[in-house]
Structure 1
Amino acid sequence: MQDITIYHNPNCGTSRNTLALIRHVNGEPNIIYYLETPPSEAKLRELLEQMAMMPRQLLRTNVPPFAERGLDNPDLSDDDIIQHMLAEPILINRPLVVSDKGVKLCRPSEVVLDLLDKPLTEPFVKEDGEVIPPNQP
Structure 2
Amino acid sequence: MSEVVIYHNPACGTSRKTLALLRERGVEPRVVEYLKAGWTQAQLKSLAARAGLPLRAFLRQRGTSAEALGLTGTGVTEDQLAAAMVREPILVERPVVDGPRGVAVCRPPEKALDLI
Please report the TM-score for the alignment, with normalisation by the length of structure 1.
Answer: 0.79
Deviation at 1:40, TM superposition (A): 1.5
Structure 2 residue 30 is the aligned partner of structure 1 residue 22: no
Number of residue pairs the alignment of both structures matches: 116
Q: Which residue of 2 aligns with 1:83?
A: 83
- Seen in structure 2, the aligned counterparts of structure 1 residues 10 and 115 have a Cα distance that, compared at 3 Å, is same
Higher helix fraction: Structure 1 or Structure 2? 2
Contact 1:2–1:26 (CA<8 Å) still a contact in 2?
A: no
User: Looking at CA atoms only, which structure, 1 or 2, has the larger radius of gyration?
Assistant: 1
SS at match of 2:37: coil
Structure 2 residue 98 is the aligned partner of structure 1 residue 98: yes
In the alignment, the residues of structure 1 paired with residue 36 and residue 58 of structure 2 have an alpha-carbon distance, to the nearest angstrom, of 18
In the alignment, the residues of structure 1 paired with residue 98 and residue 3 of structure 2 have an alpha-carbon distance, to the nearest angstrom, of 8
Percentage identity across paired residues of the two chains: 40
Deviation at 1:2, TM superposition (A): 4.8
SS at match of 1:65: coil
Which has the bigger relative contact order, CA under 8 A and spacing at least 6? 2
Deviation at 1:65, TM superposition (A): 1.5
Please report the TM-score for the alignment, with normalisation by the length of structure 2.
Answer: 0.92
Identify unmatched segments of 5+ residues in structure 2: none
Return the letter of the residue paired with 1:66. Answer: A
SS at match of 2:38: coil
In the alignment, the residues of structure 1 paired with residue 72 and residue 99 of structure 2 have an alpha-carbon distance, to the nearest angstrom, of 32
Deviation at 1:27, TM superposition (A): 3.3
- Structure 1 segments of 4+ aligned residues over 3 angstroms from their partners: none
